[in-house]
Amino acid sequence: MRATGRKIIMAGLAGSVIMLSGMTAQAGGDIAPKVPIDRTKGECVLPGDQMRREHMKILVHRRDDTMYQGIRGGKAAFSACLNCHMVKDDAGKPVTIESPRHFCRVCHDFAAVKVDCWSCHKSVPDDAGNINALKGADKEAEKASMFARLMNFVQGGAK
Amino acid sequence: MTDMRTSDERDDVQATTGAQAEHAGNGAGNDAARELDVARRAFLRNTAAAGVVALGGGLTLYTISGEVLAKKAEEPLDPKKRWGMLIDTTKCREGCDKCVQACKKENGWDAEPGSRTDVQWIRKVEVRDPKTGFLASLPVMCQHCANPPCVDVCPTGASMQRADGIVRVDMHICIGCRYCMMACPYKARSFVHEDIPEEKKRFHAPMGKGVVTSCDFCAHRIDVGQIPACAEACPEGAMLFGDLNDPDSALARRLKEIPSYQIRADLGTDNGIRYTRLP
């Protein structure tokens, strides 16, 4: 009687271990959201995994560059993010932050991180916006220098 | 962080501003500095002129009498400049508010005339001399003071002056205390009381509930070599925009030719906006 009981418990434990390991594998793998990106417009400023960790630093760094130095356009511009990551709805219109399909919300909803950017910033480009994000970055040299500064910053170098 | 110019540069700015320009260049040091300054300006002009070709389609570079205002989008601003404007009140027509409409469209605010609470960056003001009855109609916006009281009082450093003289709010660090609104002698600032719906937002002029905003001389336009929307929209050409520090700029030359006034010059704020006559 006792031996049978012990066997049942052991079997139960083994079962839960198998189930748990299955769940862990799932959580570490495929359910993390993928940020929508249009690769035809070029590569992102940093590789995806690095971007996941560093994008907020880049945004704040860039924000100060723009506020105090008037630096605009180029690959690190807000408008450049939208340019590649913009998601269109079924009618072909860019979705705003009100939609869970907006590229920021795809991750932020998942991670339950609330950002305040969109209480002021528009989450889709203006039709009549007069700065084209990539206009200034057409030249390779400028692109490279911007990238070098970004990398320097991200790797903890001088601001 | 409010003033990124070194003390040397500030002296230089002081020396070449307005009426004090005549007194500049007294010492040998000043002469050397001025020569350097002239060389630098010429260099900047040449590089900017090259930029016209390189930038090409779509990006408009405005030139006034050969003066290139441009800064390329990705370049940092030039601390030697001080942006300013001369408003010719003899040309400004009573009842015309094209500059106000252009600003509303460009920067996405929509105040009812006379509203005490809506966001308002620029307004038309009719002023009358009570003794003579002389009437002048003029636009009033942020005067982009060299000594801005709004910057002095800000507890967080959000109210700031860019190195090129533009006074604006860094809304990222504004806590909405409205102290700057109290301090501004020109009623140039307004508080955003309500959420701005997505469709009314402007991509290049973000603002939202809980912060103070004001005219920023269309910094997003200046940064890519354009002139402010109000100056561009004026049908009479009554708003002349330019660099106060560059004696060769159309603005500086005009200011040298004719008398001009600052609103409440007695406050010593040294406004970047000047008017040809005030009652």
Is residue B2 situated within a structural domain? no
pLDDT in tens, B228-272: 999 999 999 999 999 999 999 999 999 999 999 999 999 999 999
pLDDT at residue B67 is higher than 70 = no
Mean pLDDT over each residue of chain B, to the nearest integer: 81
Q: What is the model's pLDDT at position A34?
A: 87
> Closest-CA residue in chain A for B219?
A70
pLDDT at residue A92 is higher than 90 = no
pLDDT in tens, A94-120: 899 999 999 999 999 999 998 899 999
Is residue B74 situated within a structural domain? yes
Q: Which of B102, B120, B103 is nearest to B111 (CA)?
A: B120
Q: What is the model's pLDDT at position B216?
A: 95
Q: What is the model's pLDDT at position A79?
A: 85
pLDDT in tens, B101-123: 999 999 999 887 777 889 999 99
Q: What is the mean pLDDT of residues A31-41?
A: 85
Task: Please enumerate, as own/partner, the contacts of B115-119 that have beta carbons within 8 Å and a separation of 24 or more.
Answer: B117/B190, B117/B191, B117/B193, B118/B190, B119/B190, B119/B191, B119/B192, B119/B207, B119/B213
Mean pLDDT over each residue of chain A, to the nearest integer: 73
Pairwise CA distance, residues B274 & B279, whole Å: 14
Q: Which of residues 144-163 of B touch A (CB under 8 A)?
A: 160, 162-163
Interface confidence (ipTM) of the complex: 0.71
What is the tally of structural domains in chain B?
Answer: 1
How distant is the Cα of B240 from the closest Cα of chain A, in angstroms? Answer: 21
Structural domain span for residue B135: 7-275
How distant is the Cα of A67 from the closest Cα of chain B, in angstroms? Answer: 7
Is residue B113 situated within a structural domain? yes
Q: Which of B51-65, B169-183, B244-258 has the lowest mean pLDDT?
A: B51-65
CB contact under 8 A, A122 and B223: no
Q: Which of B47, B202, B204 to mutate to test the interface with A (most CBs of A within 10 A)?
A: B204
Is residue B248 situated within a structural domain? yes
Whichever domain contains B167, its CATH number is: 3.30.70.20
Q: Which of A101, A82, A120 is nearest to B200 (CA)?
A: A120
Is residue B11 situated within a structural domain? yes
Is residue B125 situated within a structural domain? yes
Residues 6 or more apart whose Cβ sits within 8 Å of residue A119: B195, B208, B209, B210
pLDDT in tens, A54-65: 999 999 999 999
